Protein backbone atom coordinates (compact mmCIF):
# COMPACT_ATOMS: atom_id res chain seq x y z
CA UNK A 1 0.00 0.00 0.00
CA UNK A 2 1.10 3.59 -0.62
CA UNK A 3 0.27 5.91 2.27
CA UNK A 4 0.81 9.60 1.70
CA UNK A 5 -0.03 13.19 2.53
CA UNK A 6 0.46 16.37 0.55
CA UNK A 7 2.57 18.95 2.41
CA UNK A 8 2.35 22.18 0.38
CA UNK A 9 5.07 23.97 2.38
CA UNK A 10 7.03 20.86 3.29
CA UNK A 11 7.65 20.01 6.95
CA UNK A 12 10.44 20.07 9.48
CA UNK A 13 8.92 16.90 10.94
CA UNK A 14 6.03 14.64 9.92
CA UNK A 15 4.69 11.31 11.06
CA UNK A 16 1.93 8.93 9.98
CA UNK A 17 -0.13 7.04 12.52
CA UNK A 18 -2.75 4.35 12.21
CA UNK A 19 -5.89 4.13 14.33
CA UNK A 20 -8.91 1.90 14.59
CA UNK A 21 -12.19 3.39 13.35
CA UNK A 22 -15.08 3.43 15.81
CA UNK A 23 -17.97 2.77 13.41
CA UNK A 24 -20.55 2.96 16.21
CA UNK A 25 -19.65 6.59 17.01
CA UNK A 26 -18.12 7.54 13.64
CA UNK A 27 -14.90 8.61 15.35
CA UNK A 28 -11.22 7.78 15.53
CA UNK A 29 -10.72 4.77 17.78
CA UNK A 30 -7.71 3.26 19.51
CA UNK A 31 -4.17 4.17 18.44
CA UNK A 32 -2.41 1.29 16.67
CA UNK A 33 1.06 2.56 15.72
CA UNK A 34 3.02 5.40 14.09
CA UNK A 35 5.59 3.51 12.03
CA UNK A 36 6.57 6.31 9.64
CA UNK A 37 8.25 9.63 10.34
CA UNK A 38 10.61 11.96 8.52
CA UNK A 39 12.52 15.20 9.00
CA UNK A 40 13.10 18.16 6.67
CA UNK A 41 10.61 17.25 3.96
CA UNK A 42 10.48 19.33 0.79
CA UNK A 43 7.12 20.71 -0.41
CA UNK A 44 5.04 18.05 -2.11
CA UNK A 45 3.96 14.53 -1.26
CA UNK A 46 5.28 12.59 1.71
CA UNK A 47 4.90 8.96 0.58
CA UNK A 48 5.68 5.70 2.36
CA UNK A 49 5.26 2.09 1.25
CA UNK A 50 3.29 0.14 3.87
CA UNK A 51 2.95 -3.65 3.98
CA UNK A 52 -0.44 -3.64 5.76
CA UNK A 53 0.98 -4.71 9.09
CA UNK A 54 1.09 -3.10 12.51
CA UNK A 55 3.88 -4.29 14.79
CA UNK A 56 4.35 -7.36 12.60
CA UNK A 57 0.66 -8.33 12.45
CA UNK A 58 -1.44 -8.01 9.32
CA UNK A 59 -4.52 -5.86 9.87
CA UNK A 60 -7.79 -7.69 9.19
CA UNK A 61 -10.28 -6.33 6.66
CA UNK A 62 -12.13 -3.28 7.91
CA UNK A 63 -12.11 0.51 8.19
CA UNK A 64 -9.14 2.32 9.70
CA UNK A 65 -7.87 5.88 10.06
CA UNK A 66 -4.54 7.23 8.81
CA UNK A 67 -3.54 10.43 10.59
CA UNK A 68 -0.63 12.64 9.52
CA UNK A 69 0.97 15.11 11.92
CA UNK A 70 3.32 17.78 10.53
CA UNK A 71 5.36 20.64 11.99
CA UNK A 72 6.70 23.64 10.08
CA UNK A 73 8.12 26.91 11.44
CA UNK A 74 6.54 26.52 14.87
CA UNK A 75 3.11 25.54 13.56
CA UNK A 76 1.63 22.06 13.59
CA UNK A 77 -1.29 20.40 11.86
CA UNK A 78 -3.02 17.04 11.86
CA UNK A 79 -5.03 15.57 8.99
CA UNK A 80 -6.87 12.27 9.13
CA UNK A 81 -8.67 10.14 6.61
CA UNK A 82 -10.59 6.90 6.53
CA UNK A 83 -9.38 3.93 4.49
CA UNK A 84 -10.54 0.36 4.02
CA UNK A 85 -8.63 -2.90 3.90
CA UNK A 86 -10.71 -5.26 1.82
CA UNK A 87 -8.68 -8.47 2.12
How high is the pLDDT of residue 87?
Answer: 82
Q: Which of the four pLDDT bands, split at 50, 70 and 90, describes residue 29?
A: very high
Tell whether the model's pLDDT for residue 50 goes beyond 90: yes
Residue % of the chain over a pLDDT of 90: 99
Which of the pair, 87 or 28, is modelled with greater confidence? 28
Contact of 19 with 30, CB cutoff 8 Å: yes
| Residue 80, C-beta contacts closer than 8 angstroms, at least 6 positions apart | 19, 28, 65, 66, 67, 68
pLDDT at position 67 is 97
- When pLDDT is averaged across residues 23-39 and rounded to a whole number, the result is 96
Within 10 angstroms of residue 19's Cβ, the number of other Cβ atoms is: 19
What's the CA gap between 51 and 70, in Å, rounded?
22
Query: How confident is the model over 18-34, as a mean pLDDT?
Result: 96
pTM of the model: 0.90
Number of Cβ atoms within 10 Å of the Cβ of 64: 19
Task: Round to whole Å and give the CA distance between 73 and 85.
Answer: 35
Amino acid sequence: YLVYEYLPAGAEYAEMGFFEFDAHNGTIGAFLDAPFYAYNLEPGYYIELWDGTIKGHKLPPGLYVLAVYAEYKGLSTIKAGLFEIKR
